Amino acid sequence: MKIQSLLPIKEVGSHYNPTILISRIRHMSQVAQRKILLVEDDEVTALLLSSYLEGRGLTVEHEIRGDAAVKRIISTQPDAVVLDCNLPGKDGFEVCREVRTRYLSPIIMVTGRINEVDHVLGLELGADDYLPKPAQPAVVFAHLMALLRRSNAAEPDSSETDAGPEYRFGQFRIDRSTRSVYLGDDEIQFTTAEFDLLWQLASHAGEVLSRDTIMMHMRGLEYGGFDRSIDMRISRLRKRLGDDTNNPHRIKTVRAKGYLFSPSAWN
């Protein structure tokens, strides 16, 4: 990768800020190490998106069939998957469902299926994000980078360090440094987005977090009132943590306000 070609002209000439230059080079080096698997059967769409992502330093591999994608995701463990729904072999929903227990990195579904039922289904099956087609390559890249930054547990940012590496409430334990969650002696597996949401809730135990606050933390976007992704992830957290989904007491819904992680409900 040619570092100079990706930098603004004023920063590669005779007058530049060395600190900015070093920071940019480090960032681009980290991006270049990221491997993305694009699962898309439309050759034109795949070429356009691959070219854009590779132009920003990502390594992109392409798969056409859903059944082949399942094997490839599990065996190669890419840093993230961009997944279409309408695929030969297996559709995107089947792919997501089959790999989720053995693949915990981000999955973004980019699909022409724009109705709410499909959106909710994709999130319930473990997708971290859901973008409708036609999705501009710049938008896909922005969502990818947001998810990749959050999944980089080896390099926690200052806010993570300040929050502390671990929380314990009764038999519940969540460890930021290892991205692990235990309920008693049992370790529970979560996707990147699910873990980040659970960490956010646990680090504010006893406080009500609004959907807007959660959405800003997860995606850097305000809650629009129609996005069901937060509700779906909360539902999956409850199921995996043995909470009563009809009358939850561990992760409570506070009507018209948001969600509350109860610190006294884990004994």
Question: Is the Cβ–Cβ distance between 78 and 36 less than 8 Å?
Answer: yes
pLDDT in tens, the chain (267 residues): 444 444 443 444 444 555 544 444 444 444 557 899 999 999 999 999 999 999 999 999 999 999 999 999 999 999 999 999 889 999 999 999 899 878 878 899 988 777 777 777 787 788 888 888 888 999 999 989 888 877 664 344 444 444 458 899 999 999 988 889 999 999 998 877 788 889 999 999 999 998 888 877 765 444 444 456 678 788 889 998 999 888 999 999 998 889 999 999 998
Question: CA 32, CA 54: separation in Å to the nearest integer?
Answer: 9
Question: Is the Cβ–Cβ distance between 192 and 100 less than 8 Å?
Answer: no
DSSP string over 67-80:
HHHHHHHHHH--SE
Helices in 80-167 by DSSP H: which ranges? 92-99, 116-124, 137-151, 158-163
Question: Is the Cβ–Cβ distance between 207 and 260 less than 8 Å?
Answer: yes
The pLDDT of residue 218 is 65
The pLDDT of residue 147 is 83
The pLDDT of residue 219 is 57
Question: CA 51, CA 261: separation in Å to the nearest integer?
Answer: 43
- Sequence-distant (6+) residues with CB within 8 A of 91 are 66, 85
The pLDDT of residue 151 is 64
Helices in 6-136 by DSSP H: which ranges? 9-12, 18-32, 43-55, 66-76, 92-99, 116-124
